[in-house]
A and B are shown apart, each in its own frame.
Chain A
């Protein structure tokens, strides 16, 4: 029925690369998002302006252009940096910007901007009285953050996070353009070699739909967990 002509294992390998890329970028995006959200809510004008500049620039430029800028330009930039480090201190290091690193950094940077917006809205939705109650208990700001603001923020942020993750997952396909052997690239190669584009592209499409469906299920469980104590319809 479905004849992958021996490309099956490589496609699965590619699916693994896609997943690893997506998860690593997600982690980077979550960290950047939290930093951006804090910067946007902080009282410092400089931090606020920097965060606004970051989100505006990132959201105004296509992901592919950013990715190529980072991949093709990144190595030159990093080399210049390590060269000057060598000249100054004699420490010789070489940082290789390969397709995978460039992909993770670009996708993380792009979705950090989107996550920042999601987190900011979610933090603002946390009831002020809760934070005051925490302070009244004598909690330090750090403890208030981890025990009160963060868990309650997550409940509001989860629908947005789930959306961002779905878009992020599809964005990973772009890394095949700069040469990473993810499932899209392998399917494209297999299509050209076997002259059967429909078979391979449809399999990849099905794999994406499968990953999306599984993540939808995970997010539904998470949503349930973070909504404990808020009633059924929330």
Chain B
């Protein structure tokens, strides 16, 4: 490890901006960005599945509140949602005295909440579309087998909807990765936050932002290829034979 660090140090010896220290800022930023995106995507996904089922329900009491939620969160900028939660949380009655305060006052949590609510809204609509597109024959076949509606949902509708939703969900993951850059606006040191810090310190916009753009590009391609691989695996039964 020490040898590796020495080697890196030697490599960067003539570089006044990219020293080990600034690289460590980028490293910490990378960790924060990945954590933020990963956590919000996982929680958003878990929220979106029941919401999508409710959104496809015939009952207005269930359907319309979910529609309102997705409409508002998809129709307004994520930045506004982030500001609302980040600046608004202080004014929730009694929160400053509660045990939640030490957790909530860090910018990470409001950012996580805003991102989660946002991605859950988009994912709900993606899944709703996929559920709606279930071929009628599949549901009829399940009924004919004597499956209850719940069982048919669990065994037939949801697995097949998951597969259909995969390409659109891959786009949503990339969208979230890019949207996470705005976390730096509420003082979170994510990748973009690190780039802004280094820009401000060295007044070197090209170095600071091009480097971080390259990191984002690599992350985007990783996500893209991961989803392509998943699609290939999960859709293998739909591929033409030759």
Contact = CB atoms under 8 A, between A and B. Distances in A.
A and B are interacting partners: yes
Interface of A: 57, 59-66, 68-69, 72-73, 76, 166, 170-174, 176-177, 184, 187-188, 191-192, 195-198, 201-202, 204-205, 208-209, 212
A10 to B, nearest CB: 17
Contact of B221 (A60, A72, A170): A60
B181 A65 contact: yes
A177 B185 contact: yes
Contact of A173 (B77, B84, B87, B220): B77
Interface stretch (B41-49, B209-217, B229-237): B209-217
Contacts of A68: 192, 195-196, 199, 205, 209
A188 B182 CA distance: 15
A209 B72 contact: yes
A170 B209 CA distance: 23
B76 A208 contact: yes
Nearest to A64: B181
Contacts of A209: 71-72, 75-76
A192 B205 CA distance: 29
B83 interface: yes
Contacts of B184: 64
A188 B83 CA distance: 7
Contacts of A205: 72, 76, 80-81, 84
B78 interface: yes
Given A65-B192, A72-B199, A208 B216 contact: no
A72 B209 contact: yes
B216 A65 contact: yes
Interface string B156-198: 0000000000000000001001111110110000001001100
The size class of the interface chain B forms with chain A is 35 or more
Given A62-B192, A208-B75, 9 more contacts: A59-B220, A62-B179, A63-B178, A65-B209, A65-B216, A73-B206, A184-B77, A184-B83, A205-B84
A173 B83 CA distance: 11
B181 A62 contact: yes
Question: At the interface, is chain A mostly helix, strand, loop or mixed?
Answer: helix
- Among B75, B178, B184, B192, chain A packs the most CB atoms within 10 A around the CB of B75
B87 A177 contact: no
B209 A195 contact: no
B99 interface: no
Contacts of B180: 62
Q: Would you call the interface of chain B mostly helix, strand, loop, or mixed?
A: helix
B178 A62 contact: yes
A73 B205 contact: yes
Contact of A174 (B79, B87, B217): B79
A167 B178 CA distance: 13
26 contacts: A59-B174, A59-B220, A60-B217, A61-B216, A64-B181, A64-B184, A68-B199, A69-B205, A69-B210, A72-B209, A73-B205, A170-B76, A170-B78, A173-B77, A173-B80, A174-B77, A184-B77, A188-B83, A192-B87, A195-B91, A196-B91, A197-B91, A198-B88, A201-B84, A209-B71, A212-B75
A65 to B, nearest CB: 5
B205 A72 contact: yes
B87 A201 contact: yes
A208 B77 contact: yes
Contact of B182 (A66, A69, A174, A201): A174
A180 to B, nearest CB: 13
Nearest to A74: B205
Contacts of B205: 68-69, 72-73, 76
